[in-house]
A and B are shown apart, each in its own frame.
Chain A
Amino acid sequence: MGLKRSLPHGSPRLGERVLESARAVILGKDRELRLALACLLARGHLLIEDLPGVGKTTLAHLLARLLGLDYARIQFTSDLLPADVIGVSVYDRAAESFRFHPGPVFSQLLLADEINRATPKAQSALLEAMEERQVTVEGETRPLPEPFFVIATQNPLFQVGTFPLPESQLDRFLMRIRLGYPTAEQEKALLTGEDRRTMLARQQPALTLEELTRLQQQVAEVHAAPAIIEYLHAILQFTRGSERFLHGLSPRAGLAILRAAKAWALLAERDYVIPEDIQAVLPVCVAHRLVASEHGGRLDEQAVAAAILDHVAIV
């Protein structure tokens, strides 16, 4: 492409390195992998919405291994209690005091599987932790580890016994992506290839914690020119004035899009955002935040891209 301008520390190569390793395990999902990585680099939480068995868990696990993060998984069920997520204080006879047993939320990367199966009470315990990056148990505030990522998955079908997340909660996720079925070729490669589980177990971290922190910092430093801000603002304005949506995008959504676009730019080894970055991340950043005024309110990425991007001009 030749468009790239090298960055100070040569660090973008790091992102490429992570993706390189990831591609070996998850076949043919380059864009999704890139988006997931961008989401984490932008310090955002990721929601994966897809059918069981397309590799959601593998993706989450893989990211944890590649980034060298400690990893916990909660399977959300309808009888899950907030304490199962956050942790619980247990009386320690030897010490003659209550001792806090931290729950799975106290890990750097948390996979919340089938989040929409749990009751709203359990959901909100997690979602509050995501927003605040700390939990308060029995009057004591405990910070969550740094970095802290949540990758949640949910089943797209409306099934009996699910509690769909309200829009206000969905807003906490920077992106919502889908994985989808692999292509015929990739599926055959997957079927004939090595067991993914052993591959994951063998996977070495591609980044140190310091390198990850530095990348996150660099995302914040990516430059967004006035023209980009103008373009993004036009997009926000459009969603607010359009009849296709029940309501427009919030300022928080605008910030999310910009953050994701910066991470996307960094992964493309640029230290500035171009309109294509916005266009690349926009569908996954806004599809779960907007409610269509038709088609039962649900929007998929393509519909969003068509509804918004086709109508806002780049100057």
Chain B
Amino acid sequence: MPKRTTPSIERPERTQVLWLTLLLLAAYVPLAPHLAWQISAFVALLFALRIAAIRWPALIPGAWGLVVLTLIGVANALSTYEGWSGQSAGAALFVSMLVLKLMELRRKEDLRLATTLIGFLAVVQFLFDQSPWLAVYLGAVAVAGLALLVDLNGGLGDTPGRAAMGIAVRVSVQAIPLTLVLFLLFPRLSAPLWHLGTDPRKGTTGISDTLEPGAISELVLNGELAFRVRFETPPPDANQLYWRGPVLWQTDGRRWSAGAEAMAAGPAGALQDASRPIRYELTLEPTDQRWLFALDRPVSVPEGAFLTPDHRLLARHPISTPRRYRMLSALRYRTALPDRAGREAGLQIPDNVTHRMRRLAEDWRSQADNDWDLVELGLRFFNREAFHYTLLAPRLGPNPADEFLFETRRGFCEHYASSFAILMRLAGIPSRVVLGYLGGEPNPVGGYHMVWQSDAHAWVEVLIEDRGWVRVDPTAAVDPSRVDNGSASRMLGSGASVRFTLEQNDAIARLARNLRLLADSLDAAWQDWVLGFSMEDQLSLLKWLRLGGAREYGLAALLLVAFSLTLSIVLLVSLRDRPRVDPLEAEYARLCRRLARVGLERRPNEGPWNYGSRVRAQRPDLAPTVDRFLRLYVPARYGRGCDPEIHRALMSLVRGFRPGVDKGARPDC
């Protein structure tokens, strides 16, 4: 195809402007929820103006109008975020400037720039969200942007839209190998890029390090994932899945907190008689807290973490990115006995303990033969008396334990755990409250368990003389089905989120559940294979390639080699892809190239015969071959039909044609 050079009018077409506007809108939509509403309002205003201006071009503001709009946009972004530091403020400022560009689409050049910036807008969004769905969506936006760029460069025949899209898709597919190479080998920062922002993480949900009435029942309504667990040994029963988190020693009668003892760093007491080992890999969603959850009780310690004396697993830094670690836990164990200080911390009694609470504890003490007997008495108390397990617990006053034990008797796990622990302390048995999760939903699609925020739980550990710290779950005493069901919230009825109220045998519900499981396992795979691909993984890849010693240099060398290899493969394939080029034309092009090397370049608008005459005039020595070639080529190319003989003859002519530089040649050609 003659591809020329139309110095076409650089004014963009209306469809191209519309295309760009819609593209920008599509690219902005997923970002909108992450930015303040003022930004979206400004963006919406300019979009509306742009769309209206397609119909009434007079609406486009002039230079002064643009200056005013720019000032408004900047002021809006700066005042909303009080400055421009932080990723939200930066993104807001960028988006405001980008939509302003919509007012300035005078030339195709402007559209090209804006389209390129949309690509940047797409990348910026990964600072806020790294889900696979967003990646797919923004990938589609990027391909559409590519198509617009193709269209802007023109020359696409009668169906420019479809042709441009086709080219864009083809180019994107061709880019996949290179993308893979870059993904695998491009040196990683040790922290992902999307945490370079200085924004404080807002609203990370999850267990906190204190416990108050209502704290966990709020979490139960949360539909977010806490972590995923892939068991390497057969998973234990659902009622054994106590995921241990923060340990609370200190209480003021209403609020439980970690307490001084917990802060004292010291060597963790080794477990004695640990048995029933469970091996698993846990991928924790970001919590912005330091603790790592582990099956009760952790035996091993993952890298970058340590075990406290009360067997909490603490990371050295807050978990701000998904963290994957392998663990070994023992379901059966016996802890070492604590020293005096530990014992005293476990016996701390709040000031607001009431008389009837004391009497209840003393009552139990007098009935029980030993400590464990007393614990069982306590559990039986919860079981026997009319205690209700409900999410809709009544609001409690300044002394929630007393109120709950003797009056309302309706509560959630935090009520049971905290009041039981206080009662044990009153009876002289050291106790502490443990926060964590209980259970986990198996995902047969992905082959792992999902633990949701709604599985949050609180239980108690008591110190028994010859057994060490023993886990006691007073909530389980009330209603064993709660633990057996696996999911803490399943039986909560109207209060729980919708997904738990669906009837399990309903076909639609089953489908919905399966889809949810599938979606989650896709998400997990994305987490594992794409987002989680780290420098360590790269180095292990190098090690596998026996280049481990070279480290970063090896990576760079490998990147270079793989890059050029991929490029040459793509090049080869695309060259082989073009047999449709007229073979005669190819031979002619080769002849022209050979002649160009000696300074006889064919002008683009020079016909073969005129070219031949010029060559003949300037280099009579080359005339015989060129003449013979043209005498065969011209009729074959432009006449009716060509027989393969001629092609072969041309080929052999060109092959033997090696024009040398003519010493006497005039230098101007």
Binding site for B on A (CB under 8 A): 2-3, 5, 223, 225, 227-228, 230-231, 234, 237-238, 241-243, 270-276, 279, 309-315
Look across to chain A and name the residue whose beta carbon is closest to the beta carbon of B639. Answer: A272
B609 touches A3 (CB 8 A): yes
Binding site for A on B (CB under 8 A): 1-9, 582, 585, 604-610, 627, 630-631, 634-635, 637-640
Contacts of B604 in A (CB 8 A): 313-314
A314 touches B606 (CB 8 A): yes
Given A3-B635, A225-B638, A227-B638, A274 and B605 touching (CB < 8 A)? no
A275 touches B608 (CB 8 A): yes
Jot down 26 A-B pairs with beta carbons below 8 A, ordered by A: A3-B630, A223-B639, A223-B640, A227-B637, A228-B638, A230-B2, A231-B2, A234-B1, A241-B6, A241-B9, A242-B6, A242-B7, A274-B608, A274-B634, A274-B638, A275-B607, A279-B605, A279-B610, A311-B605, A312-B5, A312-B605, A313-B4, A313-B5, A313-B604, A314-B606, A315-B2
Closest Cβ–Cβ distance, residue B636 to chain A (whole Å): 10
A-B contact count (CB 8 A): 82
Closest Cβ–Cβ distance, residue B297 to chain A (whole Å): 77
Closest Cβ–Cβ distance, residue B438 to chain A (whole Å): 72
The 5 closest A-B pairs by CB, nearest first: A313-B604, A275-B607, A234-B2, A276-B607, A272-B639
Look across to chain B and name the residue whose beta carbon is closest to the beta carbon of A233. Answer: B2
Contacts of B6 in A (CB 8 A): 237-238, 241-242
* Known contacts A228-B638, A313-B5; 5 further A-B pairs (Cβ under 8 A): A227-B585, A241-B6, A274-B609, A274-B638, A275-B608
Contacts of B639 in A (CB 8 A): 5, 223, 225, 271-272
Closest Cβ–Cβ distance, residue A134 to chain B (whole Å): 35
Contacts of A271 in B (CB 8 A): 639-640
Closest Cβ–Cβ distance, residue A39 to chain B (whole Å): 21
B4 touches A238 (CB 8 A): yes
Closest Cβ–Cβ distance, residue B624 to chain A (whole Å): 11
Given A243-B9, A272-B640, A3 and B631 touching (CB < 8 A)? yes
Closest Cβ–Cβ distance, residue A247 to chain B (whole Å): 14
B1 touches A315 (CB 8 A): yes
Closest Cβ–Cβ distance, residue A88 to chain B (whole Å): 50
Give A243 to B7 CA distance when docked, in angstroms.
Answer: 8
Look across to chain B and name the residue whose beta carbon is closest to the beta carbon of A278. Answer: B607
Give A242 to B7 CA distance when docked, in angstroms.
Answer: 7
Closest Cβ–Cβ distance, residue A178 to chain B (whole Å): 23
A315 touches B585 (CB 8 A): yes
Closest Cβ–Cβ distance, residue B18 to chain A (whole Å): 22
A310 touches B2 (CB 8 A): no
Contacts of A237 in B (CB 8 A): 6
Given A2-B627, A2-B631, A312-B2, A273 and B638 touching (CB < 8 A)? yes
Contacts of A272 in B (CB 8 A): 635, 638-640
Give A80 to B328 CA distance when docked, in angstroms.
Answer: 113
Give A234 to B155 CA distance when docked, in angstroms.
Answer: 11
A241 touches B637 (CB 8 A): no
Contacts of A238 in B (CB 8 A): 4, 6
Give A274 to B638 CA distance when docked, in angstroms.
Answer: 6
B607 touches A3 (CB 8 A): no
Closest Cβ–Cβ distance, residue B373 to chain A (whole Å): 98
A309 touches B605 (CB 8 A): yes
Closest Cβ–Cβ distance, residue A13 to chain B (whole Å): 19
Contacts of B608 in A (CB 8 A): 274-276
Look across to chain B and name the residue whose beta carbon is closest to the beta carbon of A268. Answer: B609
Give A308 to B210 CA distance when docked, in angstroms.
Answer: 82
Contacts of A228 in B (CB 8 A): 638
Contacts of A3 in B (CB 8 A): 609, 630-631, 634-635
Give A3 to B628 CA distance when docked, in angstroms.
Answer: 10
Look across to chain B and name the residue whose beta carbon is closest to the beta carbon of A231. Answer: B2
Give A242 to B8 CA distance when docked, in angstroms.
Answer: 6
Give A315 to B638 CA distance when docked, in angstroms.
Answer: 12
Contacts of B635 in A (CB 8 A): 3, 5, 270, 272
Look across to chain A and name the residue whose beta carbon is closest to the beta carbon of B5. Answer: A311
Contacts of A273 in B (CB 8 A): 638
Closest Cβ–Cβ distance, residue A98 to chain B (whole Å): 54
Contacts of B627 in A (CB 8 A): 2
Give A303 to B203 CA distance when docked, in angstroms.
Answer: 72
Closest Cβ–Cβ distance, residue B603 to chain A (whole Å): 9
Look across to chain A and name the residue whose beta carbon is closest to the beta carbon of B588. Answer: A315
Closest Cβ–Cβ distance, residue A6 to chain B (whole Å): 12
Give A243 to B639 CA distance when docked, in angstroms.
Answer: 35
Given A3-B631, A243-B9, A274-B607, A311 and B638 touching (CB < 8 A)? no
A279 touches B638 (CB 8 A): no
